Amino acid sequence: MTSQTSLPPAIFLMGPTASGKTALALELVERFPCDIISVDSALVYKGMDIGTAKPDAAMQARAPHRLIDLLDPAEPYSAMTFREDALREMAAITAAGRIPLLVGGTMMYFKFLRDGAADLPQADETIRSALLAEADKHGWPWMHEQLAKVDPESAARLKPMDQQRIQRALEVYRVSGKTLTQFWEEQQTEPLPYHVVNFAVCPKDRAVLHQRIAMRYRQMMADGFLEEVRALYQRGDLHTGLPSIRAVGYRQVWEYLQGEYDYDSMIERGIIATRQLAKRQITWLRSWPDLHWLETDSPELLSTALKILEANAIFSKSL
């Protein structure tokens, strides 16, 4: 049987939004033979730069990021597609004698990469539109109740306002007649062929994270986030049924442009939605096995990470 340490190395650098993942990733890339793969469901979209905190040209020059700017915002991108893309990029990095460093906060993508994916049916636009119409009429808590009637296990894992996942679970059932739970039970597990060290970067104090989120959101607005979303809005072919426009922050600005609330309410809603995302990300991470937590503002952040990587034979002291 193959031991973990005989497999090629890889690093998962996870954490909630605005926690400082990118700063640590840059430190690692500048010291060691690492190449970054983005694990972010919004960074794959072109023209969505400010609201996703996408690395700019200067940062890309310092540390190129793979799997960003892949698609137009009108196009879909799934966790299964991400797994295929990430495995291809990881293999290329390993073949070059370097170490894949996967950085981001889309926890579903990390899970699919680690565990393999159920062979789910393709999205059906007609059914998806019908579900969104039902949600507009009855609200997402009611949709959550409908899911609980057919797939109680999936419903128990989801919050009543977890719109995207409730919609997808109902869509899978209506397309196939099988629940998401059934698909997962039938899946063939495909172990990831890498020796992975798992990190999570996060402030110890939740209030500090909330402050970082608010500061970053306001800085995004100062940097032209409203104008970025307005350009997408004015295209005319995008809408809130698309995963790109449902991304945290983007949806709130989109609804402001539709006249649903005023500017100050948009800012408040955007910050609250980002906090809620961070809470979900932390909940995911708490159940992640073999996870090393790193405190964002610790002066020992980098040295602690390096000690863990050395202990796991990812880097040697000679590097």
> Which run of H or of E encompasses 144?
helix 140-150
In this structure, the answer to whether residues 11 and 46 fall within a common structural domain is: yes
Average pLDDT of the chain to the nearest whole number: 91
Mean pLDDT, range 50-54, rounded to an integer: 96
Of residues 316 and 2, more confidently modeled: 316
Are 153 and 274 found together in one domain? no
Can you tell me the mean pLDDT for 227-232?
A: 98
* Exposed / middle / buried, residue 286 (Cβ in 10 Å: 0-12, 13-18, 19+): exposed
User: pLDDT tens across 133-186, in order?
Assistant: 999 999 999 999 999 999 988 888 788 888 888 998 999 999 999 888 888 777
- The whole-number pLDDT of residue 122 equals 79
Residue 48 belongs to domain with CATH number:
3.40.50.300
Residues 176, 274: one domain? no
112-115: long-range pairs with CB below 8 Å, 24+: 112/79, 112/80, 112/82, 112/83, 113/39, 113/82, 113/83, 113/86, 113/87, 113/192, 114/192, 114/196, 115/189, 115/190, 115/192
* CATH for 147: 1.10.20.140
Q: Which two tokens stand for residue 306?
A: 């390096």
Distance CA 162, CA 147 (A): 12
Q: Which of 166, 186, 206 is the last residue of a domain?
A: 186
Point out the domain boundary residue: 140, 164, 186: 186
Write out pLDDT tens, residues 75-126: 988 888 899 999 999 999 999 999 999 999 999 999 989 988 667 787 788 9
**pLDDT bucket at 189, cuts 50 / 70 / 90:** low
Q: Is residue 316 part of a domain?
A: no
| Residue 36 domain-assigned (yes or no) | yes
Which structural domain, as residue segments, surrounds residue 176?
A: 125-186
Residues 96 and 133 in one domain: no
Judge whether residue 208 has pLDDT over 50: yes
For the chain, how many structural domains are there in total? 2
Q: Evaluate if residue 278 carries a pLDDT over 90.
A: yes
Classified as helix, coil or strand, 19 is coil
Which residue, 168, 186, 204, sits at the end of a domain? 186
Q: Which of 94-103, 165-174, 200-209, 262-271 has the lowest mean pLDDT?
A: 165-174
The answer to whether residues 138 and 270 belong to one domain is: no
Question: What percent of the chain clears pLDDT 90, i.e. is strictly above it?
Answer: 76
Confidence category of residue 1, pLDDT binned at 50, 70, 90: very low
> 173 lies in a domain?
yes
> What's the pLDDT score for residue 124?
83
276 lies in a domain? yes
Task: Please tell me whether residues 175 and 287 are part of one structural domain.
Answer: no
Total-model pTM: 0.81
Dump pLDDT digits (tens) for 7-34: 999 999 999 999 999 999 999 999 999 9
Residue 316 has pLDDT above 70, yes or no: no
- Any domain includes 294: yes
